[in-house]
Structure 1
Amino acid sequence: MPTPNPQAFDFLSTRRSRPAKTLTTPVPTAEELTPLLQAAARTPDHGKLEPWRFIVIEKAAMARLADIAEARGKQLGLAEEQVDKGRGQFDQGHLAVAVIEVQKPSEKIPPLEQTYSAGAVCLALLNAALTSGWGANWLSGWPSHDRGFMQEALGLDNHERIAGLIHIGTETSTPPDRPRPDLDSITTWMPE
């Protein structure tokens, strides 16, 4: 008979990200952030490849990343609102962790499974922050998918990419819940 953990199940059943634009200071110190990173690093990792790593982006670095996002957006010819949105997540940020997917050669572990693991790290870090009382939000946006931004802003190699930017801080307001999927419409039961 399984031993339930009602508190953990309640958290998972009611968890809600906090919009990054509503997060403020204080943010976790290095000592407070380290256990969150350790919890995220316990993510399932087929083959023990560790196909991910972390870059902690502190407030002082946010301004530099905002400038790079703006310059890249203009270089790419993006609409002004897209440029502003790409810049804004760094202008408004106080602390974020970039989860970097690191594709590693493997005969047994396909690249897609490594991508799944990096995504799982993002969710694990988000949930670790939320369970610790912080507000947190997983963002991406066009800068996260732009190779030029990845290289200039974060120094990523060609076999690396941003899986997500996890913004962490003090929440200023609790957002209302949003509509959730209709379980019956997304679930198929196979009795035989």
Structure 2
Amino acid sequence: MPDAPAPAPVPLDRSAFAADAVTVAQALIGTTLLVDGVGGVVVETEAYDCEDPASHAFNGPTPRNAPMFGPIGHAYVYRSYGLHWCLNLVCDASQLGSAVLIRAIAPTEGIAIMRDRRGLEALRLLCAGPGRLAQALAVTGAMTGLPLDAPPFRLLPRTEAEPAIAVGPRIGLTRGVATPWRFGLAGSPFLSKPFR
């Protein structure tokens, strides 16, 4: 008699975002992020909280960063340098203004769609960096404030219990440069930049 198929993984709900940004940023490594069924395994994140001078929340709420001060488990999407959308996941109800930037994923679902959106074939470059990732997943500012446990988002738990996580300083900042709040799946070829 053939083995019964494994049950489908249960998507993460908003309780997965109840911890501080550093904890959530590490816990997201190895999860699977899908937007309308397109996406892959999260391999790189950065943490930000309201006491961090590099955070959009550092000077308090504004119309732009309002989702960071809203309920946890929602998206905060902003445009970087007026060019690229960036996807952040709001966390830590005990410290409003906390979020995790998704910097890179390893593409696994909807690869042909991502290649079409990005206009390139190289699998490694499809989602290696927050702007590339947002373009490949068709993330836009219209998604800011949306819940992460409802369409178009789907976040699935890790398939590996404790992946090896690399730690280092965040990228492209002028403040909080040395803070070691960038996390990545050790050895992944899909990182935006290697860890030192």
What TM-score, normalized to structure 1?
0.30
Larger radius of gyration: 1
Which protein, 1 or 2, shows the higher relative CO under an 8 Å CA cutoff with sep ≥ 6? 1
The structure whose residues are more often helix, as a share, is: 1
The structure whose residues are more often strand, as a share, is: 2
What TM-score, normalized to structure 2?
0.30
